[in-house]
Amino acid sequence: MPSPTRRRLAAAAVGVLLVTGCTSGASDAEVTRDRPRSTSVSTSSSGPARSGSTTTAGGSTTSAPEQPDIGPARPEEHASLGDWSPCRGAFECATLTVPRDWGDTAGATIELAVIRQATDGEPIGSLILNPGGPGASGLEFLDGFASGALPDGLDERFDLVSWDPRGTGESERVDCTTDDEWLEADLDPTPEDQADIDAIRVRAQESVTACEREEGDLLSLVGTRATARDLDALRGVLGDADLSYVGYSYGTTIGLEYLRLYPDRVRAMVLDGVSVPGVDPVTDTFLQGQGFERTLDAYLANCPERPSCTLGEEPKAALLDLVAELETRSIPASYSLEVPGAVQRDGALGVGELYIAIAASLYSEQSWPVLDRGLDEATGEQRRGITLLALRDDYLGRQPDGSWLDDADSRSTIRCADQAERAEQPEGDLALAEEWAADLPFWGAWFASGTPGCWGAPEALEPLAPLADGDISGAPPVVVIGTTNDPATPYSQATDARRIIEGSVLVTYEGEEHTAYRSISDCVDDAVTAYLVEATPPVDGLRCTD
């Protein structure tokens, strides 16, 4: 799932920037979590690689070899970094050139966009950051991360560096969906009849065909293990003997794979909002559904304390009533943003758009008042979906000028490059929907749709293997951050990572946020920044509440 700065801040800003536009009608829609348009994409953090052929509870089959070890021992020997030049105001940008296929270092290359904010102080070296996703742009992330006041000592001692991983942003971004297609109404993501299933299958086939035509072999070459090699190449060409790294959400998966490959090349590593690689995709998706249901319940329980919440005495029932209404009809939702060059968005709110809008708002309590406004509009007398559609669009990458970032295409492709399992049908195993809805009344059926995902995707060349306790050793102490009620990456994965990485320490933030380092908690910021600068970890088990 995306994390943390752009999605958090942009969602919080929607309520300020919106103005009403004209209205128009639209039909129902399909989008499942962070995997829009096609149920052929992954719904999980990553899937396990096993020997032999197996069938999972999600209606998928896989025949995956043991995890291969493709690539050179020293990636920086096959990489080069171009000259730095000014970009994005106070930043500098350069191009990292690496093998397109790490299994063929003499073959074609791929160019990756890199950004840095050089320190005016005495640098320890580079601190490389990844925002997660997968699919999120590191260039865009660093622009937001470095704005405002940073934790004391961070930018004085490090050049802050990020990059657009292969297949994302300005690094040959996977782009299978046109801007016009992003404007299409979402299908119903929780199919109730054959017509719903047929609609999902048609759109899934269209998406698979378009991706194969537009991207070819790139679909198989954007997996996390290739990105971990890119990261080591970047470390080397920056001149750092050892890596200093902060990874958020999916960025922790990159970090864990780096530790698996190069544990002796780490100086300091922070994994915030852990997504452990190799987890069974069905199990992982259900755990994420539990996290979102728990956070939604916290949002609804807090309704009486927020004057902006107008869902009444039984807010969850009111929300489920809205879902039922939007299953049968859409409501007007056209809008325009009050920013220069903004283009009118003519659309409507259906049930698919509603799910995405709510999911986008649960990453941070800062977004709860914006969601209140959207639900008030949708359930009020005028029945408008303006704010909710804007939240959905922002989450999926719509820009004020009407273009789309398409990081959702990148996200789904990277997931499937990491995951061995493939759904037998685009809609996945529909039996899961009824089963999960019993435990998760709001999110169960939605998370079950399409699971385990990746229908029609090419075979994963390097599927991510599971990690057991103690599997990663030989690295200096790694700091793992877990938030107790993180909706997107359950706290249990942070405790799992603590056991997987020998000598690691766990920092716990008590809250509802997705990721915690940088501007959420002074307690977390102080402890983690001191570790990054001094390479001395905080006490294992530190708990932060502020």
* Catalytic one of 78, 126, 155, 514: 514
Q: What is d(CA 479, CA 484) in angstroms, rounded to the nearest whole number? A: 16
Buried b / exposed e over 93-125, threshold 16 CB at 10 Å, is bbbbbbbbbbeebeeeebebbbbbbbbeeeebb
Strands (E) in 201-252, as ranges, are 243-248
The yes-or-no answer on residue 78 being catalytic is: no
Cis peptide before 134 (omega within 30 of 0): yes
Active-site position among 486, 496, 521, 525? 486
Please report the DSSP string for 391-438 in residue order.
Answer: HHHHHTTB-TTS-B--HHHHHHHHHHHH---EESSTT--THHHHHHHH
Tokens of 19: 């103005």
The label of the residue with tokens 């096959």 reads: 78
Active-site residue, 514 included? yes
Q: Specify whether the CB–CB gap between 523 and 545 falls below 8 A.
A: yes
User: Of 40, 126, 249, 504, which residue is the catalytic one?
Assistant: 249
* Cis bond upstream, residue 86 (ω within 30): no
Beta carbons within 8 Å of 273's beta carbon, 6+ residues apart = 3, 4, 132, 248, 249, 252, 481, 482, 483, 486, 488, 489, 494, 514, 515, 516
Q: Give backbone dihedrals phi and psi of 336, rounded to 5 degrees, phi first.
A: -140, 150
Pairing of strands 125-130, 158-163: parallel
Residue with tokens 């171009």: 82
> Distance (Å, rounded) from C-alpha 133 to C-alpha 249?
7
336 an active-site residue? no
Tell which phi-psi region holds residue 460, choosing left (phi > 0), alpha (psi between -120 and 50) or beta.
beta
User: What's the full length of the chain, in residues?
Assistant: 546
Q: Which residues contact 86 (CB under 8 A, 6 or more apart)?
A: 92, 93
* End-to-end Cα spacing for the chain: 24
Amino acid at the residue 397: G
Q: Cα–Cα distance between 448 and 58 in angstroms, integer?
A: 8
In Å, what is the CA distance from 108 to each residue of 12, 79, 101? 42, 12, 7
Distance of CA 501 to the CA centre of its chain: 23
Active site residues: 249, 486, 514
